[in-house]
Amino acid sequence: MTLTFYKYQGTGNDFVIIDNRDSILSKNDTKLFARLCDRKFGVGADGLMLLELPQDKEDDFTMVYFNADGNESSMCGNGGRCLVAFAAFLGVIKDKATFTAIDGKHKAEIKDGLVYLQMQNVSEIEKYDTHLFLDTGSPHHVAMVKDLTNYDVENKGRAIRKGAPYFETGSNVNFVEKKNENEFAVRTYERGVENETLSCGTGVTAVALSMHATKLTNDQEIDIHTQGGRLKVTFQKNGNGYKNIFLIGPAEQVFKGEITW
């Protein structure tokens, strides 16, 4: 079988995307998804997405996301932004979208070459002595560190991701350094990829909210520097949580290809 795929990236977070509106692929074919994401034996990506038909009349399409290990995963923010750009490329949408992902319904808009993706509201942020924990569509551990450039993200991140209280379920792990009042740098270890990625959209969102919750910034428009580029997060405080959260940044098609197996 010959499969047409597209490669997209959002600040270095890269994805294989397949138009699956005709159900050409089974969502149970996890070995195929892992192979396509393999950087040695496949196309190579941090994850794979299927664009499928909408689940209800309000939606333009459905987002189905798989981690690089082939398993269906929780929400991916950069993936969502790339899928919106792909939907516009296909003509499924023009510049606005409503779609359903594993964590619920999302709205998005393409403006001035950037994709604005509305994330789910966050009702609570857990604060500990050494870190914060919150769910922005995916679980995130957020910790402040010094000398982020030289920090051992791979080993430190893996230890936290697999340790208590996360264990096998795991958590994404974000290491953060403040640059100025409304700018922060972050490096993220992602579960499912089981390594550092150049960028993580739900992680960037978690960092922005955490920095505001701990009063390291008073701004509600935060610039985040990732290894793959810069993203912006805007939000509004809502009691102990946050609402109207938008993840903003570029999403680019890298290439189109075919693979036969």
Residues serving a catalytic function are: 76, 200
Q: What is the largest CA-CA distance in the chain?
A: 54
| Backbone dihedral angles phi then psi of residue 208, each to the nearest 5 degrees | -60, -45
Q: Quickly tell me which residue has 């996360």 as its tokens.
A: 166
Q: How crowded is residue 13: how many other Cβ atoms within 10 Å of its Cβ? A: 33
In this structure, are residues 47 and 192 in contact, taking their beta carbons and an 8 Å threshold?
Answer: yes
Helices 77-90/201-213 angle, 10° precision:
130
Q: How far apart are the first and last CA of the chain?
A: 6
Give, for 77, the enclosing helix (H) or strand (E): helix 77-90
